[in-house]
Amino acid sequence: MSATSTFLIANVIGGLAVLGGYLICLYSFPAQREMLWGNIHGGLRYSFTVSMLLAAAGYLTFAYGVLFESNPTEFSSRLLNTKHAMSILCTIFLLSSASWMPATITYLKTRKTIWWIISVISLWITAISLFTATLIVISSPFAISSTSYRILTICGISVITYHCLVLDAIIWVSRFHIPLRN
């Protein structure tokens, strides 16, 4: 299968897993909706919300650049020496993103430490996979021949990486203060 087809399939299936899981969790567990914010209030919550929207737009911009403006085989690196490097990283990102909300809701309902650990690990796997994808896009100058699309793709992946690394994995985790229980 071509690198482009693999990337598209990974993103359609992974994207449906993330969005579907979030919708199911939010619909099925309304009592936990507010607690999912993890003590993020006021202006910081507004910043998170705006950043979520920018991150989604950034990821779509990145995906467009990879799908329609690049040669995905050029994204291989020493770390992932395969024509499917972006597909692998995006699959990891999407699967770990899809696991965050169910793990966090399970933690909120049970207060069992293992679910908190799974929740935090999912955020860090998400952030690390996006950070790695960002480095590969930046270090692959021939993958996207158009300078403007290359800049847009780098900006797009950088925005979602910032959100997932700084806001989710660092700030959200550090602000989430619900007592742990074994």
Helical segments of 139-172, H only:
147-162
* Lowest-confidence region among 30-39, 87-96, 140-149, 161-170: 140-149
Residue 75 pLDDT > 90: no
Give the type of residue at 127.
A
Read off the pLDDT of residues 84-111 as tens digits, 9 standing for 90 and up: 899 999 999 999 999 999 999 999 999 9
Read off the pLDDT of residues 13-36 as tens digits, 9 standing for 90 and up: 999 999 999 999 999 999 999 999
Average pLDDT taken over every residue of the chain: 93
pLDDT category at 78 given cuts 50, 70, 90 is low
For residues 144-155, give the mean pLDDT: 94
Q: Where are the domains of the chain?
A: 3-175
How many other CB atoms are found less than 10 A from the CB of residue 31? 9
